[in-house]
């Protein structure tokens, strides 16, 4: 098994030369298990986030985007989120 990173295509390497080097993240600290929050939607996002260490480095962006999307959806669906219509009028 080779320890070299896959070489990006010519367009990518010209645009992002730093992607040509291999980055070793094997010694990076990552929590064993994130504590559950008790909120099913948030815990689902944490479960997706827990997959980062086992995914390839070039797949981390997709994982983070997925987690961000899940958290935004949860926030937008939250009954605790005040909308502009629900805010009291400011008589100042």
Give domain status of residue 88, yes or no.
Answer: no
For 5-21, what is the mean pLDDT?
A: 55
Between 57 and 73, whose confidence is greater?
A: 73
Judge whether residue 86 has pLDDT over 50.
Answer: yes
Give domain status of residue 11, yes or no.
Answer: no
Give domain status of residue 43, yes or no.
Answer: yes
Q: Provide DSSP, 32-82.
A: SSPPP-S-HHHHHHHHHHTTTTTS-GGGHHHHHHHHHHHHHHHHHH-TTSP
Residue-range definition of the domain harbouring residue 72? 36-79
Q: Residues 24-57: pLDDT tens digits?
A: 666 667 777 778 999 999 999 999 988 888 888 8
What's the structural domain count of the chain? 1
pTM (two decimals): 0.55
Give domain status of residue 10, yes or no.
Answer: no
Structure token pair of residue 7: 């070489």
State the Cα–Cα distance between residues 11 and 59, nearest whole angstrom: 20
pLDDT at 33 (0 to 100): 75
Give domain status of residue 2, yes or no.
Answer: no
Give domain status of residue 47, yes or no.
Answer: yes
Burial class of residue 81 (count of CB atoms within 10 Å of its CB; 0-12, 13-18, 19+): exposed
Computed over every residue of the chain, the mean pLDDT equals 74
């Amino acid at each position: 098994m080779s320890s070299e990173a896959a070489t990006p295509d010519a367009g990518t390497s010209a645009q992002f030369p730093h992607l040509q080097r291999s980055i070793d993240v094997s010694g990076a600290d990552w929590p064993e298990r994130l504590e559950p929050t008790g909120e099913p939607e948030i815990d689902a996002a944490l479960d997706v986030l827990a997959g980062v260490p086992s995914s390839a480095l070039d797949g981390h962006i997709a994982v983070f985007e997925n987690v961000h999307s899940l958290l935004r959806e949860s926030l937008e669906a939250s009954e605790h989120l005040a909308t502009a219509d629900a805010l009291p009028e400011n008589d100042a």
